[in-house]
Structure 1
């Protein structure tokens, strides 16, 4: 056994045992950048998540063939640089779909019904009589949900919305999603129409140069003043400064956010002082079952790529031709 794998995230015991059946595994703390970079120079593959991998970190890592990220997102990598170096990048797009869609819908419901705000209000001892309009929220059922990006997770959100809450689903996507149109009555529209007609606007796009800041001041002004923005994709898809201003001046009703421009979200963020914001610590796929499945999937991706048998979950699919 000559293969060497660097694990830069703690793995479940059974997943690490699986990897050790196929290679020597070295656990490295990525916060020690020098040690991490040194370990990569002697590795055939690496597995982990939530760490920015820059070209200088893999300079001289001539044996490195695969990075396997325990995530669906891959904005922590310079994909073009990896491809130039002949390094495969794999990810885990399928196993987290349902749990992330659950989180999205939790944000929709919590924002509409003011769950976090009112739970805290009760905890503070303020519930002393029957509630009045000051505690009312808005309905979810029967409303219009606009989904920006109707891929796997967006489609799962659309299913919950249409079949579970009888919502009217609008969406934007690079290509038509025929399943969502046929099974959930989803309608593909231009972004401006989606913003103007939706009661809830939900982002489900990857972070790319095209999607960075795609919801800014102009887009927020096109939304209904009664609308709620939901973002569980990537924080930089929304101009956070513009969102804060829109929430403060009533341009939009509220926001349900699982992602932010800077993570962890600083305690000084004005978003944390707003009652009309539900802020979560990037928990999209954070269930015991899903995170275990993601780690196992990533490990299998890594070994499959090293053995030359992997044909799916490859980000830079041009590598298959090699």
Structure 2
């Protein structure tokens, strides 16, 4: 058998950084094939079939499941340049004994920073302060005073890689940190210097800020609906840098317009990209970003490098176990 036929073909999205590509490029037994990040399912399947057998894939936003497994012919490993995997059919991969790996802790500092930034932006009334200088309304400044994070209470929903880092940053601001995560023990949360709360609904009225850091699952879709948002204080702010769909945007809009809550920070949306001109976008008490909390310059390099290592670890027969989602295949 020739060296060429021994090569493993790996599909990589165009968003994989040069540093990640370099880790794959030095391997004589790996052939890289690039594909667009937002490629449609039919076009992606056609590419897979044209290049089959394909042995590994590094996904950005592209969906992946049973049809893609069929088209690839001999898939050995599926990876995500990120930590979310709601666009991947995990049960389908498990049925084929194909591991799914994510980028682990690579982007967690970046998302935690974005959550804190949104809290600060809202607390310090950044847009209004900027406008006072730009529009020459300096004299009105004492009628729109900002406030401190110091001494405020933040409720962190989800205490994984990102939630734990967010807690550290909030503690540095001298905030009281409450944590709701039914999959973490009270001892773990207390060990991190935070207060565990067993009932989300009972904790919400205590919080000045609520920041969401849990995965999108059937259990968490619509987690913050109208009834739950209504439990928040009228002076409280809701931050979502996790996944669209965890917050009911219609209910959120109603709460913001009616003054039931003070404001919101959103990096993710039910529909991405959201429709231009949506009513939510015009509100002065909302800060938004286009799903980039975990996509800083540094995070892209960290995630890409980890993605490349994930692929190689499986092809070499030694999967990086902490990054594997479907442990049943190991």
Q: Give the TM-score category using the shorter length.
A: over 0.9
Distance 1:178 1:313 in 2: 24
Q: Which runs of 5+ in 2 are unaligned?
A: 1-5
- Please tell me whether residue 102 in structure 1 is matched to residue 109 in structure 2: no
- Superposition pairs of residues 153-192 of structure 1, within 5 angstroms: 153-162=162-171, 164-174=172-182, 175-176=184-185, 178-192=187-201
1:151 equivalent among 134, 149, 160: 160
- Any conservation in 2 of the 1:181–1:187 contact (CA below 8 Å)? yes
How many residue pairs match? The answer is: 317
Counterpart residue number, 1:36: 44
Distance 2:132 2:250 in 1: 27
- Superposition pairs of residues 158-237 of structure 1, within 5 angstroms: 158-162=167-171, 164-174=172-182, 175-176=184-185, 178-237=187-246
- Superposition pairs of residues 44-55 of structure 1, within 5 angstroms: 44-55=55-66
CA RMSD, aligned part only? 1.7
Q: Residue 146 of structure 2: SS of its match in structure 1?
A: coil
Q: Residue 65 of structure 1: SS of its match in structure 2?
A: strand
Q: Residue 244 of structure 1: SS of its match in structure 2?
A: helix
TM (norm. structure 1) is: 0.93
- Any conservation in 2 of the 1:6–1:39 contact (CA below 8 Å)? no
- Please tell me whether residue 67 in structure 1 is matched to residue 78 in structure 2: yes
Identify if the C-alpha distance between structure 1 residues 117 and 208 changes in structure 2 by more than 3 Å, giving closer, same or farther.
farther
Counterpart residue number, 1:317: 327
Q: Which moved more, 1:303-312 or 1:226-235?
A: 303-312
- Any conservation in 2 of the 1:73–1:206 contact (CA below 8 Å)? yes
1:82 is displaced (CA, Å) by 1.1
1:151 is displaced (CA, Å) by 1.3
Counterpart residue number, 1:111: 122
Distance 2:305 2:187 in 1: 31
Distance 1:243 1:32 in 2: 31
Identify if the C-alpha distance between structure 1 residues 40 and 120 changes in structure 2 by more than 3 Å, giving closer, same or farther.
farther
Identify if the C-alpha distance between structure 1 residues 62 and 33 changes in structure 2 by more than 3 Å, giving closer, same or farther.
same
Distance 2:69 2:117 in 1: 39
- After superposition, the C-alpha distances for 1:99-144 in whole angstroms (9 at most, x for unaligned) are 1111110011111122134324533x233436122x2233211011
Q: Residue 4 of structure 1: SS of its match in structure 2?
A: strand
Q: Which moved more, 1:302-311 or 1:181-190?
A: 181-190
- Any conservation in 1 of the 2:104–2:322 contact (CA below 8 Å)? no
Distance 2:15 2:141 in 1: 47
1:48 is displaced (CA, Å) by 2.3
- Please tell me whether residue 93 in structure 1 is matched to residue 104 in structure 2: yes
- After superposition, the C-alpha distances for 1:275-320 in whole angstroms (9 at most, x for unaligned) are 0101111121222111101000001001111221112301111111
1:282 equivalent among 291, 304, 307: 291
- Any conservation in 1 of the 2:100–2:324 contact (CA below 8 Å)? yes
Identify if the C-alpha distance between structure 1 residues 24 and 231 changes in structure 2 by more than 3 Å, giving closer, same or farther.
same
TM (norm. structure 2) is: 0.91
